[in-house]
Amino acid sequence: MEQTAKKTIVSLKDIFIRFDGEVILNHINLDIHEKEFVTILGPSGCGKTTTLRIIGGFVEPESGDILFDGKRINGTPPNKRNVNTVFQKYSLFPHLNVYENVAFGLKLKKLPKNEIKKKVSHMLATVDLKGYEKRPISKLSGGQQQRVAIARALVCDPPIILLDEPLGALDLKLRKSMQLELKEIQQKTQKTFIYVTHDQEEALTMSDRVIVMNNGVIEQEGTPEDIYNEPVNAFVADFIGEANILNGTMIDDCRIKILGKELECVDKGFGKNTPVDVVIRPEDIEITSPENGQLTGIVEKSTFKGVHYEMSVKCGKCEILIHSTKSAEIGSEIGMRVIPFNIQIMNKLLPFYDNVIEAEVSYSNEAENYFEFELEGTTITVKDKFFADGTKLKITLPPDALSLAGDGVGDLKDLYIESVIYKGEHNEIILESDERKWLMLSDTDEQVATYVPLSFDFSKAAFEVVNEVKEG
């Protein structure tokens, strides 16, 4: 895509919003340019639809400004905004036919009748629905309803069209053709499309620019190529396309250590011996003989996918996914090579690996050998360990000391699952409690954006006394 300086048409400045105390958008900044096809992409509950509704005027942010052409439009109701929306469930008026639905906005603008007729016919032709004027909405297929919804928004000729997962209800084949059609309509009409979806493929296919959101913040924005090839963190890499995401250590500029092997890469500026996340796309791994490979592994699974074979290779304890036109026999040892350019280095999502708690002993019982401390308003009991009342402790819990409480009770309640990323061996799960984040390992898939109770296994923890109790 050409990167000429385009005029900014919509600007979100420091948008913050909460529903029932839960932060939905956490100080979002976003500029959208003229004639651009922008996709806001993210898992459900990431705040993408709320962002769209703020632009449409259906939701007012708690703080922050919305600018249209540089003018602040907070508080302007939807009917006075120069945008039109294609809603998730189309929201066509069931009591009106196709023509009346499309003409709805024009009639409100009090345009002369013959002009309305001309515009509606032209628009119905654009969306390939000529001759459907008199049809009732209930007699249309999903794809046709979809196109009526698009026509209804486009015919009002707003500079900006908002689309809220408009293809979500369609089947795969129809969705694919509608993607291309939408892109075509956007190019033909030269309007700004702001498109919301959780489908990464849809985002990559249609957009000039993709904005990846998670948990109320923008993780990355850029062209589809940028987002796919240069994800900024493990979340983006995991969400867009298939990826091998591995834990690695940046030894020095252009030197990375993964799976016990030192490899050459092209990234710089991460410092020395820094723990990082590494992304290698499955199609970037070349299969060679074991002697020639930078890494070796045993083929565990191989599935023919038409264009390529999808193979799962066990490399030590770690599972690696390969897409290759060459197949290898299950059980055989193969070598793997990756060119330095295809090894993508990213900062870790969390600045720590072990979870450190600073705590003060609130109650202790030497006879029964346990103590308690307060954490985020909850009393936590540590068995088989004794420290005197008032002792300040630094407790280090490695990720495998954390587990989701199977009994539903747990030490801490209602932690929010922020991300679940498969690192070849375990899922690394980032949890958020009231005051901090936690890193946990798990072999089961957990559902992102849900709330779970957490248990601590203090037998795996390290305790360090910060200061002893002073008398008096």
Partner 1 sequence: MKSRKPSIPYIIWMVIFTMIPIVMIGFTAFTDSQGNFSLEAFSKAFFYTDVFIHSLWIALLSTAICLLLAYPLAYLITRMKKSSQNTVIMLLMIPMWMNFLLRIYAWVTLLQDNGPIDLALSLLGIHGTYIGNSAAVVLGMVYEYLPFMVLPIYTVMSKIDYSLIEAAQDLGSNNLAVFGKVVAPLSVPGIISGVTMVFVPSASTFLVAQYLGGTDDIMIGDVIDKIFWTDQNTGSAISLILMVFIFVFLIIMNLFGDEEAIA
> Min. distance of Cβ 196 from partner 1 in angstroms?
14
Member of 156, 246, 322, 361 binding partner 1 (CB under 8 A): 156
> Min. distance of Cβ 339 from partner 1 in angstroms?
49
> Min. distance of Cβ 95 from partner 1 in angstroms?
5
Closest CA to 382 of 360, 399, 400: 360
- String of contacts with partner 1 for each residue 164-203, x by CB under 8 A: ----------------------------------------
Query: Stretches 41-49, 121-129, 152-160, 370-378: which one binds partner 1 (CB under 8 A)?
Result: 152-160
**Binders of partner 1: how many residues, by CB under 8 A?**
27
CB nearer to partner 1: pick between 89 and 394:
89
Binding positions for partner 1, 10-69, rule CB under 8 A: 56-58
Query: Stretches 134-142, 340-348, 413-421, 456-464: which one binds partner 1 (CB under 8 A)?
Result: 134-142
Binding positions for partner 1, 80-119, rule CB under 8 A: 83-85, 87-89, 91-95, 104-105, 108-109
Beta bridge partners of 195: 39, 163
Contacts of 219 (CB under 8 A, 6+ apart): 212, 213, 232, 233, 235, 236
Residue 291: CB atoms within 10 A of its CB come to 7
Can you state the angle between helices 113-126 and 98-108, rounded to 10 degrees? 130
CB nearer to partner 1: pick between 61 and 410:
61
Member of 78, 131, 271, 390 binding partner 1 (CB under 8 A): 78
Report in angstroms the alpha-carbon separations of 161 from 28, 185, 219. 20, 11, 23
Member of 77, 306, 351, 408 binding partner 1 (CB under 8 A): 77
CB nearer to partner 1: pick between 161 and 393:
161
DSSP state of 190: T
Contacts of 141-146 with C-beta under 8 Å, sequence gap 24+, read 142/169, 142/170, 142/171, 142/174, 143/170, 143/174, 143/178, 145/90, 145/92, 146/90, 146/170, 146/178
CB nearer to partner 1: pick between 52 and 321:
52
DSSP state of 470: P
> Min. distance of Cβ 181 from partner 1 in angstroms?
21
**Side chain identity at residue 130, one-letter code:** K
- The tokens describing 149, both together, are 């919804």
Report in angstroms the alpha-carbon separations of 356 from 31, 150, 313, 467. 38, 52, 34, 16
> Min. distance of Cβ 217 from partner 1 in angstroms?
26
**Using CA atoms, how far apart are residues 247 and 364, in angstroms rounded to an integer?**
39
- Establish if 390 lies at the interface with partner 1 (CB under 8 A): no
**Side chain identity at residue 158, one-letter code:** P
Residue ranges that bind partner 1, judged by CB under 8 A = 56-58, 77-79, 83-85, 87-89, 91-95, 104-105, 108-109, 136-138, 152-153, 156
